[in-house]
Chain A
């Protein structure tokens, strides 16, 4: 869940390859690496930024940038998406590769996982092929030590021909060496002799033909040897990007055409075409990485990851996998609901006490009634409601969820559930994007980039809204608390709410399956694509840090956004409720118009109208409902949250209304920010429209079915 100022809402929309340099002397440093090796931690600790990190591959999907000053130089650090390779098989790999090739970074830091160095070196070698300005950062040295893996950094450095630094990015201090290495690299004039990957003879012969031709082109300042390899391999996406960068078609260049034809002749004479050529290139890289590690990495314990396997056997076994998953989900909800109860009450008591004081102050100054109504009964009351109801559950839910995320549990959920996604012809990684959706659907939709297949990515985008985001989550919890905890007040209350909330979330997951399946057999026809999911090692979360980070970065930020939207909305509603046209207020005109339709859905006109007005932010749906009710009746004192329930009941709410409202909250159009993000990510109005229409129709159907069934039965 990338929920920080920079990763939710409008800012989430990728800023692409645009680098902001404040002076031309600044050095641009790309931070690359395999997924989930702690790249973002390195980036955060160097720049002081708070790009959110999590223990699962694909956490960072956009280019984040930050600044770092060391000695006399300012560095612009660019956190590029994690990739296994630069051969660009997916959108994020393309972003990573294009940045390293055409973003003209002054240096590249390749972050590696010390516990899995060999695999990581594939990317290191590919990066070194492009540029010699590389610093290798062997991160997670502490984890390696725990697993008794010894790494000889000097041997690695000597073999690679580039600086190699061991770090434990969680401990800020160890990064000093890293930035010092970058500094030295950029300030030394020494000739660099990075390792050269030796390919088999026919490939080397072919390169020998084309490389000098490229060298002669003065306008191509890309590593000629690497470019030769790519041209021979005919890497289409690279050539497209290269042509865009150069401004002309490189394959149309006469000399290059000629050289390429000759070189390809050499290859085809040796049976090296297409797949065979690529296979042998990759094999050379993988074997080089293997060779590099043989002398430098020593495993003192054969079963160094036995503990992880033991945990995996519990968390993903046939008998315990699913029960633990449900239990954890319910545990988190139970803690959130029970824990939020008490602080919610205190907050609302305090804030409504404040309201009375404001009222006193307005009376004291003989302020006109409309001013008091607008600011105290309109603006302040909505704010107070939003804060007292939203803050406590968020402050509990986010840290808990972040803990699960940091430990590395989420990929296990994807592993457990993949078969169901496969049946829907979707990707198991959709689970990860759904988890991000809990925080913010817009962030979840950007997260869908981790899914390689465009079709499966669209499925994940369209269905992401079935996961309630932090805007809707408190709505659900508060309705549940009002209607189901209060009624059964006592120890059974929270348990019942937990069950209902879990049921609702499971329903959302279920809808995701149904809709994915329906789409896969209609407008998004296709077979499930291949799937590789990495299950990262478990890591001990930094509990203190998680709590502080989720409280400040997520909770307060999200709350701030809610307040920003809620305040003007409160004003607008108050005004609408107080402007009278004919016999009714503007507000009742609107809600009366919607009422007959809304009744079919088990709600009323006011609720439906509130959902429509809640388009900018789902947080304000319940406050709008409350304001509208208060405005249409005689204004009464609402001293506590429990009076709110009375207000709702007075306006005809029953448990059926409550459940219908929750169903519709779970399934309706995405908020405006999410819609914008979908448009940006899919580049298509059609798919944006589908993403709006599909959940809306499903929600209406569900509400209609529920309302009709209960009407018939009761």
Chain B
């Protein structure tokens, strides 16, 4: 097992499925709008030059998320 618990733990090129969202309020809804719900497959594409944010492939679109937000998204491999 590679220890991936949240989106933040993912390395470049890895894929995982969303288990649940810990975020609340408007960011939760924003993430759902872009299609992040339970079971959605996410691929980690790459980090920004400064290490944060990170770009993910979510339902065909490339979305950058900050570590604060990606650490609130639980995933399973």
Contacts and interface: CB of A to CB of B under 8 A. Distances in A.
Which of A308, A309, A417, A535 is packed against the most chain B CB atoms within 10 Å?
Answer: A535
Contact of A531 (B37, B45, B51, B69): B69
**Helix, strand, loop or mixed for chain A's interface?**
helix
Interface size class of A (residues with CB under 8 A): 35 or more
A106 to B, nearest CB: 27
A118 B58 CA distance: 10
Contacts of A420: 50
Interface string A527-569: 0111111111100000000000000000000000000000000
B32 A279 contact: yes
B9 to A, nearest CB: 18
Given A415-B64, A419-B53, A116 B30 contact: no
Contacts of A533: 53, 63-64
B59 A118 contact: yes
Contacts of A531: 53, 64-66, 69
Interface string A255-278: 000000000000000000001001
Nearest to A117: B60
A321 B50 CA distance: 9
B15 to A, nearest CB: 13
A416 interface: yes
A418 B53 contact: yes
A442 B63 CA distance: 28
B32 A452 contact: no
A476 B40 CA distance: 50
A317 interface: yes
Contacts of A529: 26-27
B32 to A, nearest CB: 4
B37 A283 contact: yes
A416 B48 contact: yes
B30 A415 contact: no
Given A282-B37, A283-B38, A535-B55, A530 B68 contact: yes
A84 B66 CA distance: 19
Given A87-B33, A531-B65, A119 B49 contact: no
Interface in B18-74: 23-24, 26-35, 37-38, 40, 45-53, 55, 58-66, 68-69
B45 A312 contact: yes
A316 B52 contact: no
Contacts of B48: 316, 321, 415-416, 418-419
Contact of B26 (A275, A312, A313, A530): A530
A532 B31 contact: yes
Interface string A67-109: 0000000000000000011010100000000000000000000
Which of A312, A321, A532 is packed against the most chain B CB atoms within 10 Å?
Answer: A532
Given A122-B33, A122-B35, A282-B32, A530 B66 contact: yes
A322 B48 CA distance: 10
Contacts, number: 130
A216 interface: no
A397 B41 CA distance: 42
A116 B59 contact: yes
Contacts of B37: 279, 282-283, 286-287
A84 B32 CA distance: 10
A85 B68 CA distance: 23
B56 to A, nearest CB: 10
Nearest to A418: B53
Contact of B66 (A275, A313, A422): A422
A85 B58 CA distance: 16
A448 to B, nearest CB: 17
Contacts of A417: 50
Contacts of A289: 35
Contacts of A321: 48-49
Nearest to B58: A119
Interface string A489-500: 000000000000
A116 B53 contact: no
A319 B48 CA distance: 10
Contact of B63 (A85, A316, A534): A534
A318 interface: yes
A116 B61 contact: yes
Contacts of A532: 27, 30-31, 34, 63-65, 69
Which of B47, B64, B68, B69 is packed against the most chain A CB atoms within 10 Å?
Answer: B64
A8 interface: no
Contacts of A279: 32, 37
A312 B45 CA distance: 9
Which 5 residue pairs across A and B have the least CB separation, nearest first? A530-B27, A321-B49, A419-B50, A85-B33, A282-B32
17 contacts: A84-B33, A87-B33, A116-B61, A119-B35, A119-B58, A287-B37, A312-B55, A316-B49, A317-B49, A318-B49, A318-B51, A428-B64, A530-B26, A530-B69, A531-B65, A532-B30, A533-B64
